[in-house]
Amino acid sequence: MERLHAIVRGDVQGVGFRYFVQRKAQQLGLRGWVRNNDDGTVELVAEGGRGELEQLKRALEEGPRLARVDRVETRWSEAAGGLDRFELAW
């Protein structure tokens, strides 16, 4: 089990990006959270298998139809646990 911490930059707020991430993560069976940050980025932490996390990362790079993703910054580590189902964080 691994952990992916990602920050997505671009036009990613107000376009359904968090819901897009939540749906994809739940489809992949991942645990974690996603939130909007005050600086206009979207941040997320997801835990699961490396293959599923790689699929999520590819989805982040494309985003939903109305989004424009400029860059996805990622940091990988061992899963820390303590995460429930994948949810929206405030």
Q: What structural domains and CATH numbers belong to the chain? A: 2-80 (3.30.70.100)
| Active-site annotation holds for 36 | yes
Q: How far apart are CA 90 and CA 73, in angstroms?
A: 20
Q: Given the residues 9, 23, 35, 36, select the one marked as catalytic.
A: 36
pLDDT value at residue 84: 86
pLDDT value at residue 53: 98
Could you tell me which of 12, 45, 13, 16 has the C-alpha nearest to residue 30?
Answer: 45
pLDDT value at residue 34: 98
User: For every one of its 90 residues, what pLDDT tens digit does the chain have, with 9 covering 90 and above?
Assistant: 999 999 999 999 999 999 999 999 999 999 999 999 999 999 999 999 999 999 999 999 999 999 999 999 999 999 999 998 999 998
| Active-site annotation holds for 18 | yes
pLDDT value at residue 27: 98
pTM of this prediction exceeds 0.75: yes
Q: Given the residues 18, 58, 75, 85, select the one marked as catalytic.
A: 18
Contacts of residue 48, Cβ cutoff 8 Å, sequence gap at least 6: 1, 2, 28, 29, 30, 31, 79
